[in-house]
Amino acid sequence: MVSIHVQLPKIASEKSKMLTYAQYRDLLSVKTLNEFVIKLKKMDYEEIELQENATLELIDFGLKEKLIVTLQKIIRNSPEKFQRFFMVYLLKFEIENIKLLIKSFYKNLVKDEIKIHESIEELVGRIGIFKEALMATDMKALLAILRRLPYGDLIIEAFITFERENYSFFYFDLVLDLKYLEELWLKHQKLNQKDSQIARQYVGFETDCYNLEAIVRARNLKVEPSLTYKMISAKNYHLNKQFLESLMKDNLNYEKLAEIIGSKEKISNLDANSIRIICKHARVNLIRSLYVKEVFSIGKSLAFFLHKELEIENLRTVSVGIYYKRPLEEILSKIYIV
């Protein structure tokens, strides 16, 4: 059985490899995506494939693979009670695979163009199902295969909603994302009291951000409030039912929202993008607070998980900025450093 005394040095080692502001500036000195990949591979990102012509899609895939591999390494060296929680945490990547398969089959993409993250399926023991899914002849066959997953019936329910709502992936994504959050909420409650309270800061924060974005997007699409209620989590952390109802009616003080969620970002209007910015800023503060939690708790490992994800998002931002030849300072303004 692995103890936390084994885990902590692993976290410290991986954290020491995190990119600095100076390294981000160095990455932005390049002119092409190929040059970006070459530099990145020298910064502990050897998983990124160097193709003849690097693309945003290939870089994005490689960055996500690096993230999964790194998090798996920490999980393998974590106490068993933490492992059970983090295995549910990793389900977000399997859900991304499911979304990719459904959307690819709907768009009739060539099978060779569909790149799922097999590393996560190997870890959870479901690679066979996903390899079989890639060979499905049509959407009906694909759904029949995916139904064998532990939450297969939910996938069918999400697809039925997708068809009913004029083939809008907005609804399909929300059904799966909500299921993920509910599973995470249930699992964090099974930790001991100290670790459960720490983990709830993260799970509650993500639930608040999910509810915020779901309501704002539903409001923009003029979705009926009765249907919007079905899209949001019944669980709440800082944002209670009364607050969410005010948001549905657009009766909201934006400064109050930023204060509640823990962000100092200034916003003049509320849309899905501004919600993401507010939440990202608040997530940086959350990571910092988790790093200084009691040493022998889930805090440091959870902080590292979120920190590494943030780095991947930063690198994605850098790659997009390089591709579209945006000014250096503009790109750097969108980088979040813990």
Domain limits, the chain: 192-297
Dihedrals φ, ψ of 245, to 5°?
Answer: -65, -35
**pLDDT of 257 over the 80 cut:** no
| Mean pLDDT confidence for 188-205 | 96
| Mean pLDDT confidence for 92-112 | 92
Q: Which one has a higher pLDDT value, 275 or 88? A: 88
Structure-block tokens of residue 47? 């998983």
pLDDT in tens, 142-151: 999 999 999 9
Question: Rounded distance, CA 100 to CA 53, Å?
Answer: 23
Dihedrals φ, ψ of 133, to 5°?
Answer: -60, -40
Residue 20 pLDDT grade (very low, low, confident, very high; cuts 50, 70, 90): very high
**pLDDT of 267 over the 70 cut:** no
Residue 167 pLDDT grade (very low, low, confident, very high; cuts 50, 70, 90): confident
Q: Which one has a higher pLDDT value, 243 or 118? A: 118
| Mean pLDDT confidence for 221-237 | 87
**pLDDT of 250 over the 80 cut:** no
In this predicted structure, what is the pLDDT of residue 189?
96
- 250 Rama class: left (phi>0) / alpha (psi -120 to 50) / beta: left
Mean pLDDT, all residues of the chain? 91
**Residue 266: Cβ-neighbour burial (10 angstroms; 0-12, 13-18, 19+):** exposed
**pLDDT of 111 over the 90 cut:** no
Query: What is the pTM for the complete model shown?
Result: 0.93
| Mean pLDDT confidence for 236-252 | 83
Contacts of 267 by beta carbon, 8 Å cutoff, 6+ apart: 254, 258, 274, 277, 278
| Mean pLDDT confidence for 64-88 | 94
Residue 301 pLDDT grade (very low, low, confident, very high; cuts 50, 70, 90): very high
**pLDDT of 52 over the 90 cut:** no
| Mean pLDDT confidence for 247-271 | 73
Express as a percent the part of the chain with pLDDT over 90.
Answer: 68
- Name the residue among 115, 127, 120 with its Cα closest to residue 72: 120
Q: Which string of b and e fits 85-113 if b means at least 16 CB within 10 Å?
A: bbebbbbbbbbebbbebbebbeeeeeeee
**pLDDT of 51 over the 80 cut:** no
